[in-house]
């Protein structure tokens, strides 16, 4: 099945990264968001990230111009999705919002369209049940930063047609990514394994076993992780980490997934990591150096 026209819903970090990668690989992309300002911001970020690739020599100036010309934006949901062969939903990680979007997609998208969600933890089977075409609904979970990370975790809902999975696997390869197929259970694979590690790192800090920098350095130098788990939690967003742990905890009913009280407190206090300027580290405008947040300094 030819997938030429791609619509990405949601112009946040994941949405702009996904749009970037499709456009760079020659697809016609419509990025949809209700907020025109957010769309403008997303285009500026894509342009900046393309410049980064040009300056590294991994992309030519002509390819950058071509990529941008493959991209269009739209604030009208109906217009934005009507011509799409594939829709990738990358809206905020909120179940009510996602169910509403998929209900609308079911009405507005072409009958032949594949409906994918970039959800990091919401059940694909549940999302598919909001539509009358569960066979065409699938998870396409990209990792942040999308232009850099090679993985696409492909999640089969209970009723996803095998032909849809095959199409999405082939498409992911066309994007230069490595697809891995998983079944739809809480946290899928990526977050079922990643989040307990992050939670354990937060518990280690909470119990006073080691300081922020030691915990992260042990995992960076000892396990060759590009970021330590506490820095990664700040990068992902502490609110997102908490919500995924809650999905794991509720989904399996196993206390091993219970979120650390320190994580809960930080989210309640609005210390969500990079996006709010403070988490385990503090992110001062213009400063490139990573600094442990005052709260956790010795």
Catalytic residues: 120, 141, 153, 191
Which residue's CB atom is positioned nearest to ligand CAA? 120
In the complex with ligand CAA, which residue's Cβ is closer, 81 or 244? 244
Phi first, then psi: give them for residue 117, nearest 5 degrees.
-120, 140
Give me the DSSP letters along 213-268.
HHHHHHHHHHH--SS-HHHHHHHH-HHHHHHHHHHHHHHH--GGGPPPHHHHHHHH
Query: In whole angstroms, how close is the CB of 108 to ligand CAA at the nearest point?
Result: 27
Q: Which residues bind ligand CAA (CB under 6 A)?
A: 49, 52-53, 56, 58, 120, 143-145, 147-149, 190-191, 226-227, 232, 236, 240
In the complex with ligand CAA, which residue's Cβ is closer, 73 or 120? 120
Contacts of 54-61 with CB under 8 Å at 24 or more apart are: 59/24
Q: How is residue 259 annotated by DSSP? A: P
Alpha-carbon distance 162 to 128, whole Å? 15
In the complex with ligand CAA, which residue's Cβ is closer, 71 or 143? 143
Contact partners, residue 208, CB within 8 Å, separation at least 6? none
Alpha-carbon distance 191 to 197, whole Å? 9
Query: In whole angstroms, how close is the CB of 140 to ligand CAA at the nearest point?
Result: 12
In the complex with ligand CAA, which residue's Cβ is closer, 21 or 205? 21
Query: In whole angstroms, how close is the CB of 93 to ligand CAA at the nearest point?
Result: 9
Query: In whole angstroms, how close is the CB of 79 to ligand CAA at the nearest point?
Result: 28
């Amino acid at each position: 099945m030819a997938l030429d026209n791609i619509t990405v819903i949601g112009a946040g970090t994941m949405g702009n990264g996904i749009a970037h990668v499709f456009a760079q690989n020659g697809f016609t992309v419509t990025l949809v968001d209700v907020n025109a300002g957010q769309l403008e911001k997303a285009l500026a970020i894509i342009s900046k990230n393309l410049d980064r690739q040009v300056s590294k020599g991994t992309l030519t100036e002509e390819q950058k111009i071509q990529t941008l010309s493959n991209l269009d934006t739209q604030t009208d949901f109906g217009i934005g999705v009507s011509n799409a062969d594939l829709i990738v939903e990358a809206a905020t990680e909120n179940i009510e919002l996602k169910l509403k979007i998929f209900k609308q997609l079911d009405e507005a998208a072409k009958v032949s369209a594949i409906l994918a969600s970039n959800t990091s933890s919401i059940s694909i089977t549940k999302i598919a049940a909001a539509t009358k075409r569960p066979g065409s609904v699938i998870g396409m979970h990209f990792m942040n930063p999308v232009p850099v990370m090679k993985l696409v975790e492909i999640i089969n809902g209970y009723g996803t047609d095998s032909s849809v999975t095959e199409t999405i696997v082939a498409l992911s390869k066309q994007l230069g990514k490595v697809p891995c197929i998983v079944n739809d259970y809480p946290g899928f694979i990526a977050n079922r394994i990643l989040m307990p590690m992050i939670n354990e790192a937060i518990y280690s800090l909470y119990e006073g076993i080691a300081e922020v920098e030691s915990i992260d350095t042990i995992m960076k130098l000892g396990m060759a992780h590009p970021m330590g788990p506490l820095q990664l939690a700040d990068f992902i967003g502490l609110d997102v980490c908490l919500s995924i742990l809650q999905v794991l905890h509720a989904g399996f009913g196993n206390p091993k997934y219970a979120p650390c009280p320190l994580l809960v407190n930080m989210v309640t206090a609005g210390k969500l990591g990079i996006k709010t300027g403070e988490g385990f580290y503090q992110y001062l405008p213009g400063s490139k150096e990573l600094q442990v947040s005052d709260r956790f300094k010795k």
